[in-house]
Amino acid sequence: MLDLGTERHLPTVLLIDDDMVSREVIATVLTLSGYAVQTAADGAAALELLAAEKCVPKVMLVDAQMPGLSGTRLIAELRSRGKAAIVAISASKVPDDVVAACDGFLLKPFSPDALRKLLKETQANALPAAQSLETGRPAVNPETLAQLRAMMPEASVREIYAAIVTDLCKRLTALVAAISSGNRVEIRRIGHAIKGGCGLAGAEQAAGIGARLESGVDQLDNMDAVLADLRAATRDLKRMLEDEFPA
């Protein structure tokens, strides 16, 4: 595991790649470009690093084809543990659902300029919560939150929203697969489930996106924007959880 780089004006990058040479080369390029870099040799090591809060990256570069935990399963786990943008890298073509689940993709071998350019574009295109298509809706309706707090202990309320965040991360992975295969029935089912579960808990951003998925699924060409919105809503809900129920 490396912790290179001393300049902090650029975001911290977590590089996950099972090939040692690739890790060393990419980490060196990023460090010389001003990024702070930490590396992990596989998905499990990356999750341990994040769980220990030894690394809080803004961007994660992830080899899309590694032994063990990899692909969309790894991406979903990474999404559930932070707000970082995820860029897939691979030496060969990867499944469409993996590319769709990420915020960018680079085919190895790539030049240092291509890497730096994509990282800058990824940062520039990151969708802040305030720019979500669900602008104006809070992550959680304050009245619903107050009612739940009046009904049960704080720990129980926290468990509800933590479960919703975990469920949304899983549904994001399922949604990417359904969109990739053009499975409109599954997209509607996922949207209906998100609308119902999140609506009951007052998670208005996510519930609104679920309603859009359920009713507007025929416009598959707009699904990238919906996915971005759902990821932003999930991040907002996770941020609310951390702010309202600090560990």
First to last CA, the chain: 27
Q: What is the mean pLDDT of residues 71-95?
A: 84
CATH topology match: 3-126 vs 130-244: no
* pLDDT tens readout for residues 133-192: 444 567 898 999 998 899 889 999 999 999 999 999 989 988 888 888 888 889 989 999
We find that the CATH architecture of domain 130-244 is Up-down Bundle (1.20)
Residues 6+ apart with CB under 8 A from 147: none
Instruction: Kindly indicate the confidence band of residue 125, based on its pLDDT and cuts at 50, 70 and 90.
Output: low
**Can you give the pLDDT at residue 44?**
92
Q: Is the pLDDT of residue 97 over 80?
A: no
- Say yes or no to pLDDT of 39 above 90: yes
pLDDT at 132 over 70: no
pLDDT > 50? residue 5: no
* Token pair listed for 69: 């935990």
- Residue reference for tokens 């996950």: 16
* CATH class assigned to 3-126: alpha beta
Residue 6 and residue 34 in contact, taking contact as beta carbons nearer than 8 Å: no
Residue 103 three-state SS: coil
Rounded (10°) angle between helices 43-51 and 71-79: 10
pLDDT at res. 7: 42
Q: Name the residue among 112, 100, 146 with its Cα closest to residue 27.
A: 112
Helix (H) or strand (E) holding 13: strand 12-16
Instruction: Report the mean per-residue pLDDT for the chain.
Output: 82
Query: Residues 196-225: what's their mean pLDDT?
Result: 80
Q: How far is it, in rounded angstroms, from Cα 68 to Cα 91?
A: 17
- Check whether 115 has a pLDDT greater than 70: yes
Asked if 25 and 2 touch (Cβ cutoff 8 Å), the reply is no
Mean pLDDT of 57-63: 91
Gap between the Cα atoms of 56 and 12, Å rounded: 7
Give me the half-sphere count of Cα atoms (radius 13 Å) on the Cβ side of residue 9: 2
State residue 17's pLDDT score.
Answer: 93
> Would the pLDDT of 129 be above 50?
no
pTM (two decimals): 0.52
Residue 217 has pLDDT above 60, yes or no: no
Percent of the chain surpassing pLDDT 90: 14
Q: What are the extents of the domains in the chain?
A: 3-126, 130-244
CA angle 87, 91, 94 (to 5 degrees): 65
